[in-house]
């Protein structure tokens, strides 16, 4: 497997088209994480079936969030994406998130070239309200069986807020 942080960068952040690596397919209970030290995908744990991922999940190369991991993404597609691929994605917003007291934000993206959806999804407002509720419920509760109250969605932000967080995470990567 390629070392994504060596061969990719974050992409064209200013224009909202970024590179994203898929870790977890939508519907999976496998918590697959990029292991930066070994440059491989690693199964970290298996979640309860009731907390299968509501979206595909990935990361932006050459970024570091405040939790010390690459900046996470929630990838909205009609079908699950396989682990280990990368794609160009359009930034549509951000879910500001805290996990066990640490900032662990999630940039929300869609494929940059989505001919099925007619490239119509440009912002979070273009998503069904029910999907936003389901994502928020998932992230507010997915650790509740082990540690109630450990996670909290603080708010949803727009494209510009998402780009600002990406830029901050790029700077953190460069200064690591």
Distant-in-sequence, close-in-space partners of 27: CB < 8 Å, separation ≥ 6: 52, 53, 80
- 31 is an annotated ligand-binding site residue: yes
Residue 72 known to bind ligand: yes
pTM above 0.95, yes or no: yes
pLDDT (tens digit, 9 = 90+) per residue, 40-95? 999 999 999 999 999 999 999 999 999 999 999 999 999 999 999 999 999 999 99
Mean residue pLDDT of the chain comes to 96
Residue 172 labelled as part of a binding site: no
Task: Give the pLDDT band of residue 132 (cuts 50, 70, 90).
Answer: very high
Stated as kind and residue range, the H or E segment containing 14 is none
Among residues 49, 67, 51, the alpha carbon closest in space to that of 140 is found at 51
Residue 114 is assigned to a ligand binding site:
no
Looking at domain 4-175, its CATH superfamily turns out to be Inorganic pyrophosphatase (3.90.80.10)
Supply the pLDDT for residue 34: 97
pLDDT band at 5 (very low <50, low <70, confident <90, very high): very high
- Was 158 annotated as part of a binding site? no
Domain extent listing, the chain: 4-175
67 is in an annotated binding site: yes
The number of beta carbons lying within 10 Å of the beta carbon of residue 145 is 11
pLDDT at 128: 96
Task: Look at residue 32 in the predicted model and tell me its pLDDT.
Answer: 98
């Amino acid at each position: 497997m390629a070392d994504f942080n060596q061969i990719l960068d974050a992409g064209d952040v200013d224009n909202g088209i970024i590179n994203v690596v898929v870790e977890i397919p939508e519907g999976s209970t496998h918590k697959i994480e990029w292991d930066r030290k070994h440059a491989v995908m690693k199964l970290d744990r298996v979640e309860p079936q009731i907390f299968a991922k509501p979206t595909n999940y990935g990361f932006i190369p050459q970024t570091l969030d405040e939790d010390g991991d690459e900046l996470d993404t929630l990838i909205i597609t009609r079908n699950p994406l396989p682990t280990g691929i990368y794609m160009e994605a359009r930034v549509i917003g951000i879910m500001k998130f805290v996990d066990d007291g640490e900032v662990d934000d999630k940039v929300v993206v869609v494929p940059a070239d989505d001919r099925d959806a007619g490239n119509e999804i440009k912002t979070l407002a273009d998503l069904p309200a029910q999907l936003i509720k389901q994502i928020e419920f998932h992230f507010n509760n997915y650790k509740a069986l082990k540690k109630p109250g450990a996670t909290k969605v603080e708010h949803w932000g727009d494209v510009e807020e998402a780009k600002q967080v990406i830029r901050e995470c790029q700077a953190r990567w460069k200064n690591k």
